[in-house]
Chains A and B, each alone.
Chain A
Amino acid sequence: MAHTHVGSLHAPDAELALRNARDLYTRRQEGVSIWVVPSAAIVASSPDEKDAFFDPAADKVYRHPTFYDVPEGAGHL
Chain B
Amino acid sequence: MLDQVEAAERELRSAAERRLAGDDHLQGYFEAIIEADQKVEPRDWMPDDYRRSLVRQIAQHAHSEIIGMQPEGNWITRAPSLKRKAILLAKVQDEAGHGLYLYAAAETLGVSRDELVELLLSGRQKYSSIFNYPTLTWADVGAIGWLVDGAAIVNQVPLCRCSYGPYARAMIRICKEESFHQRQGFEILHTLAHGTPAQREMAQDAVNRWWYPSLAMFGPPDSDSTHSERSMAWKIKRFSNDELRQRFVDMCVQQASVLTLSLPDPDLRWNAEREHYDFTQPDFDELMQVVKGNGPCNRQRIEHRRRAHSEGAWVREAAAAYAAKRAVREPAGV
**Interface residues in B82-124 (C-beta closer than 8 Å to A):** 90, 93-94, 97, 100-101, 103-104, 107-108, 113
Chain A residues within 8 Å of B43, by CB: 44, 46-47
A24/B100 in contact, CB under 8 A: yes
Contact flags A5-36 to B (C-beta < 8 A → 1, else 0): 00111101111101000011001000000000
Question: Whole-angstrom distance from the CB of B10 to the nearest CB of chain A?
Answer: 16
- Chain A residue nearest to B98 (CB atoms) is A24
**How many Å lie between the Cα of A24 and that of B103 in the bound state?**
13
Could you tell me the dominant secondary structure of chain B's interface residues? helix
Question: Whole-angstrom distance from the CB of A68 to the nearest CB of chain B?
Answer: 25
- Chain A residue nearest to B41 (CB atoms) is A47
State which size class the interface on A falls in.
10 to 19
A8/B107 in contact, CB under 8 A: yes
Chain B residues within 8 Å of A72, by CB: none
Chain A residues within 8 Å of B320, by CB: 12
Of the stretches B138-146, B203-211, B321-329, the one at the interface is: B321-329
Across chains A and B, the number of contacting residue pairs, with CB separation under 8 Å, is 47
A15/B333 in contact, CB under 8 A: yes
Question: Whole-angstrom distance from the CB of A18 to the nearest CB of chain B?
Answer: 7
Number of interface residues of B (CB under 8 A): 27
Tell me whether A3 is interfacial, beta carbon within 8 Å.
Answer: no
Known: A9-B100, A14-B333, A23-B97. 17 other contacts (CB 8 A): A7-B101, A7-B173, A8-B104, A8-B107, A10-B103, A12-B322, A13-B319, A13-B323, A13-B326, A16-B323, A18-B334, A27-B93, A27-B94, A27-B97, A47-B45, A50-B22, A51-B22
Closest 10 CB pairs of A and B: A14-B333, A13-B323, A8-B104, A12-B323, A12-B319, A47-B43, A14-B334, A47-B44, A24-B97, A12-B320
- Supply 15 A–B pairs (Cβ within 8 Å), ascending by A: A7-B104, A7-B173, A8-B107, A8-B108, A9-B100, A10-B113, A12-B319, A13-B326, A16-B319, A18-B334, A24-B97, A24-B101, A27-B94, A48-B45, A50-B22
